[in-house]
Structure 1
């Protein structure tokens, strides 16, 4: 069944408009009586039956609320040093499928691409659309938050709200550090938040790492191999899923 987010709910009926209305009525050519899954803004999902297809909205009544959740037991935020090309789109798409709670691009010293504020709104809309489509495909209960790129200083200021904070640092991996990430996954409790910072191509500078450590971050390695900027976040998410979902 097709899954739709950000739907308006009144009593026991959902109302779907905008692009999703077009998708239901024009692309999928659904009819009254067809079943879809609607997801509320607070993460509840329900199997619904379409009861009305109007000129600009679709109404669907709840048939059965779903009891299971597809979300990671922790809120895992990926902070990526702004990479070049479409690498961030790849991180957002695949990271959403793997359960990321939030994506925060930041402008690192070694970020090759220069952020164009004039194109920021259009770019952000594209990233959010990619996350939405990936969340629908992977049957998630929540849309991950996707932010416009920020400075490292802003990232440090905002980091105070997270329960756990890590830096995926290639120098730590080169020196064989393997315990910090595992320890965090063993200690973290359901519902807690974890922020992991990843560098762009070329990695984080020693000064950036020092600033992060001074603000409560711990440096960690992600195994013996050095991973690309678009690979490392997916590795971390997959490892968290394995440790927190498959082993428990």
Structure 2
């Protein structure tokens, strides 16, 4: 069953529903009618991006307007029991888009690109808005593919120094190749008896963290961890850490 994002609240209390029917307009209507060529009677899945899902049947298909009758609405159970925020040092375009796509599929809640001392990529201020729109579009498409009902927010890039005033997760981690004492698995297992509601983690740039950046993290209560004896690429590290967090503390693995 195809799933489509409807930027309207999918609950019976909303004004967007009339006699249990809803219009689909714009890009999704075009996709249904002209790309997928779905016909009246087709059953589709809908999600509003804030946690609600519904199934319905197409009852009127035009090239720029779709009318769907909702059969069942519900709060989705596709979200992890913990909220995970990824603070990702800004990598090259293709790598960041891959990270956004796969992290969304895995269950990340927020993605915050950060600019560190060794960040190679620099985005023109005039292009930031378009970049962020594209990143959030990638997250939306990944939700459709993975069946999630909540679209993670991808923020505008922010400087590393500025991010510490915004940290609000109960547990915040920073993988660091020079850390030798505490492994990620060890730290996560220590929280299994009292699972935090929110976890954040930093992933460094391709050139690695500067020592001053690590010290700044320590001064702000961030826990350094090692990922093991091998050095991982930034896109590998982000997805590996997210997977381990959601496996140990979340719902990944069933």
Per the alignment, residue 39 of structure 1 pairs with 47
Cα gap change, 1:188 to 1:25, in 2 (>3 Å): same
Per the alignment, residue 13 of structure 2 pairs with none
Cα gap change, 1:68 to 1:55, in 2 (>3 Å): closer
Cα gap change, 1:142 to 1:154, in 2 (>3 Å): same
In structure 2, which of residues 229, 234, 251 is the aligned counterpart of residue 224 of structure 1? 229
Is 2:57 the partner of 1:49? yes
Is 2:73 the partner of 1:65? yes
Per the alignment, residue 168 of structure 1 pairs with 175
Deviation, 1:225, is 2.1
Per the alignment, residue 215 of structure 1 pairs with 220
Contact 2:7 2:48 in 1 (8 A): yes
Take 2:48 and 2:102, find their aligned partners in 1: how far apart are those partners? 23
Deviations 1:87-141 (A, max 9, x none): 1111101111111111100100000111211211221122112111111111112
Cα gap change, 1:108 to 1:185, in 2 (>3 Å): farther
Take 1:65 and 1:168, find their aligned partners in 2: how far apart are those partners? 41
In structure 1, which of residues 149, 157, 160 is the aligned counterpart of residue 165 of structure 2? 157
Deviation, 1:55, is 5.5
Tell me which moved more, 35-44 or 22-31: 35-44
Take 2:2 and 2:239, find their aligned partners in 1: how far apart are those partners? 25
Deviations 1:7-49 (A, max 9, x none): 3252333332221111111101112221111112431111111
Cα gap change, 1:181 to 1:60, in 2 (>3 Å): same
Q: TM-score, normalised by structure 2?
A: 0.88
Take 2:96 and 2:246, find their aligned partners in 1: how far apart are those partners? 21
Deviation, 1:154, is 2.4
Contact 1:181 1:221 in 2 (8 A): no
Per the alignment, residue 3 of structure 1 pairs with 3
Take 1:127 and 1:78, find their aligned partners in 2: how far apart are those partners? 14
Per the alignment, residue 101 of structure 1 pairs with 109
Take 1:120 and 1:246, find their aligned partners in 2: how far apart are those partners? 33
- Please list, as runs of the form range in 1=range in 2, the aligned pairs for 1:75-94 lying within 5 A after superposition: 75-94=83-102
Is 2:162 the partner of 1:119? no
Residues paired across the two proteins, number:
243
Gaps of 5+ in 2: 11-15
Gaps of 5+ in 1: none
Q: SS at the partner of 2:234?
A: coil
Cα gap change, 1:141 to 1:226, in 2 (>3 Å): same
